[in-house]
């Protein structure tokens, strides 16, 4: 016998049992809950973002100037650059949609202006969010683009929903929508599993047979064929004591209240994004609600873009950039024609402005301000004969 005797210690199977449990579907369902949902992976959120970004990008960008008689639109090379070709590779619509979408998702969007030696604007180059980082110093901050430091006044920094601990950096909608998007994902998974489940047979058949026959698929099919396999047109002969047929009515989505839950969550997403619920498929279209959405949500984002672009792209203190928000409002042609007619009758607008409202080209002779029912030019109103006037001829 050796000095050191090797002990025969029994090997525990606990490790194997634990590993086996981790490989089961029960462990996956418990540990991998899937609560985290990226904002861009949710269909409702994507729909809302695309609606907002598309509408903002549809607005033309105007260069305005302050004059003694009011603000007027300016047409020059800068106005064309901003509205037609702000980027050498993208149109205005593509650029603004990219900027708006990323602004809504990330809460921040950085665009790097490119100028020539004379200071003329050449291109607005949007930067992807993964290439951007911030250094917040409290009272000031700077921006790193691919590791290169830029001062805050060297780039266009659009923000949405500023962080509570920073006045310069935005946070978007990530916090508000976290739980809601998780609920929508779970509802979608439940609906998919419910509709595709094979464990909801409408008919259950109880037969008198031994366990050995029911243990295999072939055995079960043999038992079924023994009762229902008959010649065409001949009746089934089923012993009443050998088989019991029951019809089971499975649960529906209405029983699980899935539809109501999804509708509530969609309305909540719409409320957080400040868009009408009918844009997410809940409810019916309402013109007043849509126009209010344009005058609030869309206008607010437009002001964010306008002010940042004016501050860092325009040198003249009398000029500014403006998005044409009114072009997005929805009115019928009859309403526009009626309002235009009434305004023209009191000399506020001319005929060509009315034609422009309803999508028609200008016509010669309609660019004068006229008044009253006979549309007398405004500068000829003093030539009218008055009642009781000696020149009236009565």
Q: How confident is the model at residue 370, as a pLDDT?
A: 78
Whether 318 and 64 have beta carbons less than 8 Å apart is answered as no
More confident residue, 206 or 54: 54
More confident residue, 192 or 78: 78
Given a cut of 90, whether residue 56 has pLDDT beyond it is yes
Q: 263-283: per-residue pLDDT in tens?
A: 877 888 888 889 999 999 898
Given a cut of 80, whether residue 335 has pLDDT beyond it is yes
Given a cut of 80, whether residue 195 has pLDDT beyond it is no
What percent of the chain has pLDDT above 90? 41
Q: How confident is the model at residue 180, as a pLDDT?
A: 66
Residue 126, CA distances (Å) to 83, 84, 114, 232, 313 in order: 16, 16, 11, 73, 15
First to last CA, the chain: 150
Q: How confident is the model at residue 314, as a pLDDT?
A: 95
Given a cut of 80, whether residue 8 has pLDDT beyond it is no
What average pLDDT does range 316-325 have in this prediction?
A: 96
The pTM for the full model equals 0.70
Given a cut of 50, whether residue 393 has pLDDT beyond it is no
Print burial letters for 133-158: b (CB count within 10 Å at least 16), e (below 16): eeeeeeeebbbebeeeebeeeebbbb
- Here the tokens at position 96 are 């603004």
Q: Count CA within 13 A, CB hemisphere, residue 92.
A: 16
Question: Where are any strands of DSSP class E within 260-393?
Answer: 319-323, 370-371, 376-377
Of the pLDDT bands very low, low, confident and very high (cuts 50, 70, 90), residue 256 is low
Given a cut of 70, whether residue 382 has pLDDT beyond it is no
What percent of the chain has pLDDT above 70? 64
Q: Is the dihedral of CA 50, 106, 122, 118 positive or negative?
A: positive
Mean pLDDT is lowest, of 9-18, 30-39, 87-96, 138-147, for: 9-18
Whether 133 and 144 have beta carbons less than 8 Å apart is answered as yes
Which residues are registered as beta bridge partners of 323?
61
Q: How confident is the model at residue 291, as a pLDDT?
A: 96
């Amino acid at each position: 016998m050796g000095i050191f005797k090797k002990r025969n210690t029994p090997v525990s199977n606990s490790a194997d049992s634990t590993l086996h449990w981790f490989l089961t579907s029960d462990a996956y369902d418990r540990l991998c809950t899937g609560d985290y949902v990226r904002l861009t992976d949710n269909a409702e959120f994507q729909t809302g973002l695309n609606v907002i970004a598309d509408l903002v990008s549809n607005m033309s960008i105007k260069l305005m100037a302050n004059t003694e008689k009011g603000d007027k639109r300016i047409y020059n090379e800068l106005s064309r650059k901003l509205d037609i070709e702000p980027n050498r590779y993208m149109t205005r619509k593509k650029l603004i949609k990219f900027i708006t979408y990323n602004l809504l998702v990330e809460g921040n969007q950085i665009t790097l202006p490119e100028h020539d030696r004379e200071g003329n604007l050449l291109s607005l180059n949007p930067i992807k969010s993964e290439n951007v980082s911030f250094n917040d110093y409290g009272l000031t901050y700077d921006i790193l683009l691919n590791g290169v430091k830029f001062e805050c006044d060297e780039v266009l920094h659009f923000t949405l929903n500023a962080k509570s601990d920073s006045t310069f950096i935005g946070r978007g909608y990530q916090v508000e929508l976290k739980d809601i998007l998780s609920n929508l994902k779970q509802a979608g998974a439940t609906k998919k599993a419910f509709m595709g489940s094979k464990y909801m047979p409408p008919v259950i058949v109880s037969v008198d047979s031994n366990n050995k026959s029911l243990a295999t698929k072939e055995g079960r099919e043999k038992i079924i064929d023994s009762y229902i396999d008959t010649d065409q047109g001949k009746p089934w002969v089923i012993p009443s004591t050998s088989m019991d047929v029951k019809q089971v009515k499975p649960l529906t989505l209405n029983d699980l209240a899935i539809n109501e839950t999804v509708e509530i969550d969609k309305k909540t997403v719409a409320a957080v994004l400040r868009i009408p619920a009918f844009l997410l498929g809940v409810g019916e279209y309402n013109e007043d609600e849509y126009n209010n959405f344009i005058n609030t949500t869309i206008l607010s984002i437009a002001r964010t873009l306008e002010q940042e672009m004016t501050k860092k792209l325009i040198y003249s203190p009398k000029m500014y950039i403006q998005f044409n928000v009114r072009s997005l409002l929805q009115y019928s042609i009859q309403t526009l024609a009626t309002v235009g007619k009434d305004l023209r009758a009191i000399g506020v607008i001319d005929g060509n402005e009315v034609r422009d409202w309803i999508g028609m080209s200008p016509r010669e002779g309609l660019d004068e301000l006229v008044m009253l029912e006979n549309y007398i030019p405004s500068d000829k109103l003093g030539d009218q004969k008055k009642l009781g006037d000696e020149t009236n001829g009565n």
